[in-house]
Amino acid sequence: MKARSLVFDLFGDYLRYRGGQVRLRGLVALMGCFDVPEATVRVVVPRLRKEGWLSSHRDGRETVYALTDAAWELLDEGRDRIFNRARGPWDGHWNMVIYSVPETERALREQLRKKLAWFGFGPLSSAVWLSPHDRGGQVLAAFADEPAVRLDIFRSRSAGLDADRDIASRAWGLAELDRAYVDLLQVYRPRLPVYRAGELQGAAALVERMKLVHDYRLFPFRDPDLPPELLPEGWHGRLAHEVFLEAHGLLRGAAEDCVDALLGAASTPEQEAG
């Protein structure tokens, strides 16, 4: 787990519920659980502030950090994709995005493709992406300030369910994704009895919970969250999501107790050069 990612994760899962800010000494104490030395924290935090992800103010001799609005927006968007799944029946429509980006804007084109994948779209061809979910408005909003990007949004049906399944198999690597879900289940499903018994406490629970989030967080980039009728037989994605949610919840109490203890210990007045 990279130090800068840990900063975001700590804010997202813990610090948001504790005033949304943290003293530098408190952040150093939390990051120490993950073997991140204080010197590294003191390098990473100013970089995040320079990049516009953190704001800071002085409180006496101490520096207090908080996420900026842009950082919270990014964090909340990611949290929604990680913890929530599309609900309700599929109406049978495909939502299609056809884009055009000048050849000179290759970096922008790659950014667009990554964003489309994040919203659950898959490539039917190089410039035609589609999703069973109505998220075209989110794509338009994400690139509203990019005049070089031209986007056309359509809704359409295929010839039937067999065609829909063929489209899904071509637009997403579902077999490879399913194998990745199986690998995740093999790691965390056997640990559920340990979590249920409360055997992990203190820093061990905090680290385990953060590692769980770290291991699961990339799946929303790959998983289009397809309706059941479009998924291959024996799909493990929903089970993996249920195991993730249960494990995350079971570890919550011990992890939060650890955070409170570390922040409490770090609140003792002390001289600091932030």
What domains are defined for the chain?
3-73+260-266 (1.10.10.10), 94-156 (3.30.70.240), 173-259 (no CATH)
Q: What is the largest CA-CA distance in the chain?
A: 70
Label each residue of the chain as H, E or C.
CCHHHHHHHHHHHCHHHCCCEEEHHHHHHHHHCCCCCHHHHHHHHHHHHHCCCEEEEEECCEEEEEECHHHHHHHHHHHHHHHCCCCCCCCCCEEEEEEECCCCCHHHHHHHHHHHHHCCCEEEECCEEEECCCCHHHHHHHCCCCCCCEEEEEEECCCCHHHHHHHHHHHCCHHHHHHHHHHHHHHHHHHHHHHHCCCCCHHHHHHHHHHHHHHHCCHHHHCCCCCHHHCCCCCCHHHHHHHHHHHHHHCHHHHHHHHHHHHHHHCCCCCCCC
Residues 6 or more apart from 127 whose CB is under 8 A from it? 98, 99, 100
Please enumerate in sequence order all residues whose Cβ is within 8 A of that of 9, keeping only pairs 6 or more positions apart, or say none. 1, 210, 213, 214
| Percent of the chain scoring above 90 in pLDDT | 75
**pLDDT per residue as tens digits for the range 80-100:** 888 888 777 899 999 999 999
**Mean pLDDT, rounded, of the chain:** 91
pTM attached to this predicted model: 0.85
Query: What mean pLDDT comes out for the span 61-65?
Result: 88
In angstroms, the CA 123 to CA 131 distance is: 9
pLDDT tens figures, 207-257: 999 999 999 988 887 899 999 999 999 999 999 999 999 999 999 999 999
